[in-house]
Structure 1
Amino acid sequence: MRKAMVLFASLFAATAWAAGSAGGEQGGDDVPGYILHHVVDSPYLEIEVPLSSPIHAADLPQILIPFSEGACTPRMTDHGQEIPGLMEGCLDLSITKHTIMMWLAALLLLGTLFIWGNRDKTKLVPRGAGANLIEMLVLFVRDELAIKNIGKEEGPRYVPYLLTAFFFILFMNLLGLVPWMATATGNLAVTASLAVCTFIVTQVAGIRAAGLGGYLKHLTGGVHPALWFIMIPVEVLGLFTKPFALTMRLFANMLAGHIVLFFLLGLIFILGHPAVAAVSVPFAFAIYLLELFVAFVQAYVFTMLSALFIGMSVAMGHHDHGHAEGHGHSETGPSHDHGKAHMLGG
């Protein structure tokens, strides 16, 4: 089966090269532009043809909300027509290609739950390969990510969010490997929005565990008030480095994989000979299989780091509680939660 797929890809690449060479300007010079066109977002849907003009499928709705008269009037730049941004008084809520991909991922998520969810409460054990696979993933997120990183008491509370993030990111990653689809997680705005969701959940978890006073006290780092002017900015900066790391890690890994994959196929057109396909296509096929693995790994990493950040935030409350018990009238010393907070928070 694998040999047949490689042979088919080689013949397809050779045919595309011949067509590109016949088109004159569709040769190797278009490879960077084609790769960039594939990975960026766009306000329309199209069927891409290797190193040729894409087939226009449909224009997507453009939704512009001006905060002042004429704020959303398009202007011409060196890169073509450009819509003013939010800082210029124009809120752009237009539907784009990556928006469609997110909607499809959400539909797949809901469909998976409805099809393979165990809705029959009389049967404790699900039947079928799909139901057992979903159960395995759900238990993995609950037991290995939520409970181990957040704690046995608070972990189950955040399992729904972690499961939603895991499957949503997984389906977006996998959609990018389907022909004529796109990877929404290769968009910085998408990964930043996901990271903001984790940031909000993390701060809410910290306030819930330690209270607003304990949360604000944690920003001082427990140092002398004379050092607060140093410690508070450092702690606040630390709050935002976590979502930044989530944003860039997911974005860079998903974007880089597609660029490498298309560049390997583009070597056929850059070097200008179909014989290059004998080397580049097998390598591209191997990268494609690696991308399947990366799709799961990046969904896991984002969920694991989210659980870790939530666990560190929850540990603030346990740390303060254990510290109070350790210095109070208890004869048994610091509580178990105090030790667990040190384990989670490092």
Structure 2
Amino acid sequence: MKRLNVLRNSVLSKAFVLLLPLLFGIGALGYAAGEDAAEGHGEEAVHAEAAAHGEGGHESAGDVIMHHILDSGVMAFEPFAEFHLPKIVVGGFDISITRHVVFMWLAALILLLVFGYVGSRYKSMTSRQAPTGLANAMESLVEFIRLDVAKSNIGEGYEKHMPYLLTVFVFILLLNLLGLVPYGATATGNINVTLTLAVFTFLITQVAAVKAHGIKGYLAHLTAGTHWSLWIIMIPIEVIGLFTKPFALTVRLFANMTAGHIVILSLIFISFILKSYIVAVFVSVPFSIFIYLLEIFVSFLQAFIFTMLSALFIGLATAHEGHEGEAAH
């Protein structure tokens, strides 16, 4: 069964591809995550002390919004309880577990469980049986990424990139959606996480380009086929172009996932700032619900855009069109 092979080879048997950005992401959070957690502990102590003395006990709207957006070392389930995550320092590097790391682990676990279940369903099916339920939905997802993203943008040899593209799409989608559930946190709203994913796309793109054209062809591509007298201009431009692509991936995903949460929280706080039930009923609540529903769509859209652009960058780096003309010129 061709579809069965695509599903198993792309996700189930190569799911370790997901673990790489997770492990690298924890390291990428590094000092920033640990310092945010430490600052969060310190700020909480200051607020608690101020509240005990009756001074500064109320946080401003901006403080609450930033507390929700930024990473921290506390899992808060207000008004029920809160848990302080362990602080870990190894060799002078702070790799403390933060709530964004926890939600990355949760997304990885959900992905492995879902596709593990789907893979077991396929193994028990005969060649004449059609998938149903969750297996059918996952097969449709695999076919969509395979045909409309990988094959259409990369072309020949797209199969070898399917495991990464499919994994990164589902991983980003889960992270986006987990940020919309109660007490959730959007790990893709952390620029360290989006940067890590963009770096993986960058590395895979460069390796694919070298494999497709060889070292000589890869270096020749940096000259854009121009006369040697223009290399002093073209080579720096081409090198800068290599790094603007992962930068665009990083900022696009980070900014879109952060902006939506800020807008929702800002709309909610308008009614509290103005102290008006009319504003709450006719402005804050309906517009917040609208933006929330829009964020669900944006979660899918941003996962698709990141995956599609990754496939496009790989396709452009491995394309052979025009190289023969450049060599002849």
1:112 to 96, 110, 114: 114
State the Cα distance separating 1:277 from its structure 2 match.
Answer: 1.8
- How has the CA–CA distance of structure 1 residues 209 and 287 changed in structure 2, closer, same or farther, with 3 Å as cutoff? same
- Residue 143 of structure 2 is matched in structure 1 by 139
- Residue 294 of structure 1 is matched in structure 2 by 298
State the Cα distance separating 1:129 from its structure 2 match.
Answer: 2.3
Q: How does 1:266-285 map to 2 (within 5 A)?
A: 266-279=269-282, 280-285=284-289
- Residue 95 of structure 2 is matched in structure 1 by 93
- Flag the structure with larger Rg: 1
Deviations 1:139-170 (A, max 9, x none): 0000001000000x211111111000100000
State the Cα distance separating 1:113 from its structure 2 match.
Answer: 0.3
State the Cα distance separating 1:91 from its structure 2 match.
Answer: 2.0
- The SS at the match of 1:57 is strand
- Residue 38 of structure 2 is matched in structure 1 by none
AA of the residue aligned to 1:168? F
Q: Distance in 2 between matches of 1:46 and 1:226?
A: 61
The answer to whether the 8 A contact 1:209-1:318 is kept is no
Deviations 1:283-317 (A, max 9, x none): 111111111111100000000000000000011x4
The question of 1:161 aligning with 2:164 is answered yes
Q: How does 1:1-346 map to 2 (within 5 A)?
A: 30-48=60-78, 56-66=81-91, 90-117=92-119, 118-120=122-124, 122-123=126-127, 125-151=129-155, 153-279=156-282, 280-315=284-319, 317=320, 319-320=322-323, 322-323=324-325
State the Cα distance separating 1:130 from its structure 2 match.
Answer: 1.5
Deviations 1:23-62 (A, max 9, x none): 99676x621110100010001211145xxxxx65222122
- Residue 43 of structure 2 is matched in structure 1 by none
Q: Distance in 2 between matches of 1:63 and 1:318?
A: 50
State the Cα distance separating 1:319 from its structure 2 match.
Answer: 4.0
AA of the residue aligned to 1:136? S
State the Cα distance separating 1:192 from its structure 2 match.
Answer: 0.3
AA of the residue aligned to 1:101? F
Q: Distance in 1 between matches of 2:56 and 2:74?
A: 24
Q: TM-score, normalised by structure 1?
A: 0.74
The answer to whether the 8 A contact 1:45-1:58 is kept is yes
Identity rate of aligned residues, in percent?
A: 51
Q: Distance in 2 between matches of 1:93 and 1:242?
A: 28
Give the superposed CA RMSD.
Answer: 2.1
Deviations 1:86-108 (A, max 9, x none): xxxx4221111100010011111
Q: Answer 1 or 2: which has greater helix percent.
A: 2
State the Cα distance separating 1:273 from its structure 2 match.
Answer: 2.5
- The SS at the match of 1:58 is strand
- How has the CA–CA distance of structure 1 residues 125 and 145 changed in structure 2, closer, same or farther, with 3 Å as cutoff? farther
What residue ranges of structure 1 are gaps of 5+ in the alignment?
1-22, 50-54, 67-89, 328-346
Q: Distance in 2 between matches of 1:177 and 1:124?
A: 39
Q: Distance in 1 between matches of 2:178 and 2:106?
A: 8
Q: Distance in 2 between matches of 1:116 and 1:288?
A: 30
Q: Distance in 2 between matches of 1:56 and 1:37?
A: 16
